[in-house]
Chain A
Amino acid sequence: MTHTLHRTGDIESLKEDFPMLTHVARGFNDIGAGERLKQMAKIARKYTELNFGDCKVANQFTMPPEEIMGKHTVGWQVVFNDKKSLIACMKELKEKNIGISVVVSGLFDEVFECCQKAGINPPLIEFALGIHGNEDKIWPPEILDFVTMCGHGLVSGHLVKKMVEDIKKKKVTVRKAAIELARPCLCGAFNPHRAAKLLKEMTQ
């Protein structure tokens, strides 16, 4: 359901984090949706190559994007780190009018500004009303910022800690560590650009 909601982090970091997803509506536009999803994925990938995936298939770090595109059934995810590319992508998706739903997550002020510039009037929004319950069970904020980039919870906080240790020991580069963290997130909603920046801050 809400796998691109609840991303934690400071405002500056979230300003470079815009996951986009597409999803078919079962019973309404799912027949022959594979080709439409592929068309839309090709458009999105012109504007961002940061990540791309389909939670029923794989992400671009575990399977070539062309292969993923041939297997879409219900939707895909990409992630942007700048508004200019996001707006251009939104504009083209609107112009091409392919007919499959698109959702963008991010700071509301930033996403609404992009929508306005792309001539889009969003009909519905979803808010995150926080984490509740036994908060002793969750990772500290600096780890949670990574973990929440995969809404399915597939990116382990233990792996984040391991990558931080490995960077400090010079066993792995920041970029490679960010990609290693992106691999378990099947959807492709994890933002390796943002992860690399966060890792750099944690290891400097």
Chain B
Amino acid sequence: MRIDIEKCVGCGRCVSYCPVGAIQIFRDEENPKKKKSRIDEDECVECGVCLRAQVCKPQAIYLPELNWPRVVRRAFSDPMVEHKETGVPGRGTEEMKTNEVTGRFKKGSWGMAVEVGRPGAGGRLKDLETIAMALAEKGIVFEPRNPVTFLFEDVKTGKLKPELKNEKVLSAIIEFEVKPDQLKGVLQALKDISKKVDTVFSVDLISFPAEGEKGPALKVAKQLGFPVYPNGKVNLGLGRVLNK
């Protein structure tokens, strides 16, 4: 996002809407009595919140044309943008939301996700690469339909396309399936990597109600010091195949 300095009246109403704090107020060099707002382009994740907030009366905020690799920021930060590779708006896939229809996750393994930059911090894709490479070393296979997978130069190692490393996004999700013999290694790798990244990440685990909190996956997670929130997502199983 950008602010047209000529139109900006320096009211500052846009500043608090930015989730990553990228909008700053400064004194106009030509007229020090006047204030203006500007967007730190390196920090901006192109989420569009400032524009959609409609708080800028002179309409100084605008979305410029974004080219590769910057366009990746918007694709991962603005849920209104649909990833052309997946057709899914936002950052991930349908995952457990439609599992009763798709049968994607089956008993005997678990779905996992690592959400880089969440909650509310945002993150550079180099942190995503650090996490992805650590997971790849544990033998996991990245979900082929997840938009993150399209960012890898080498999908087997989790190595990113080099030009993407410094791009900042609101969040990006690494999705994969974990088999019982991989679980402990994967969770331990996430514990170890947490000291090596500059941002935060949230960890998700998809399981079956019959396993619940007493299941082997959460038992291992708890042993390794992962907190298990008392709240989460429950698929009600109301979907079915309708396309003919």
Contacts and interface: CB of A to CB of B under 8 A. Distances in A.
Interface of A: 1-8, 11, 14, 17, 21, 23-33, 36, 55-56, 62, 74-75, 90, 93-94, 97-109, 111-112, 115, 120-135, 137-139, 144, 147-148, 151-159, 161-162, 183-184, 186-187
B235 to A, nearest CB: 4
B46 to A, nearest CB: 12
Contact of A147 (B117, B119, B226): B119
Contacts of A132: 190-191, 194, 200-203
Interface of B: 15-19, 21, 47, 49, 52-53, 77, 79-80, 82, 87-102, 105, 111, 113, 115, 117-122, 127, 170-171, 173, 175, 190-191, 194, 197-209, 212, 218, 221, 226-244
Contacts of A27: 243
A28 B90 CA distance: 20
Contacts of B17: 156, 158-159, 184
10 interchain residue pairs of minimum CB distance:
A1-B92, A101-B239, A25-B98, A29-B242, A25-B101, A162-B16, A129-B203, A130-B227, A132-B194, A126-B233
Given A1-B92, A1-B175, A115-B234, A127 B239 contact: no
Contact of B230 (A11, A25, A98, A158): A11
A144 B89 contact: no
B102 to A, nearest CB: 5
A186 B229 CA distance: 25
A6 B229 contact: yes
Which of B17, B111, B117, B244 counts the most A-chain CB atoms under 10 A from its CB? B17
A153 B237 contact: no
Given A2-B92, A102-B236, A23 B97 contact: yes
Contacts, number: 303
A134 B116 CA distance: 11
B79 A186 contact: yes
A163 to B, nearest CB: 8
A153 B202 CA distance: 12
Contact of A139 (B94, B120, B127): B120
B230 A124 contact: no
10 contacts: A2-B92, A2-B173, A24-B98, A28-B101, A127-B218, A130-B228, A133-B199, A134-B198, A152-B91, A153-B117
Given A29-B101, A29-B240, 9 more contacts: A27-B243, A94-B236, A101-B235, A123-B99, A126-B232, A132-B202, A133-B194, A133-B199, A154-B19
B207 A125 contact: yes
- Among B15, B19, B47, B117, residue most surrounded by chain A Cβ atoms (within 10 Å): B19
A29 B239 contact: yes
A123 B209 contact: yes
A38 to B, nearest CB: 15
B162 to A, nearest CB: 23
Nearest to B229: A128
B98 A6 contact: no
Give the interface centre of B96, B98, B236 by most chain A CB atoms within 10 Å: B236
A138 B200 contact: yes
A121 B120 contact: no
B14 to A, nearest CB: 11
A125 B206 contact: yes
A154 B242 contact: no
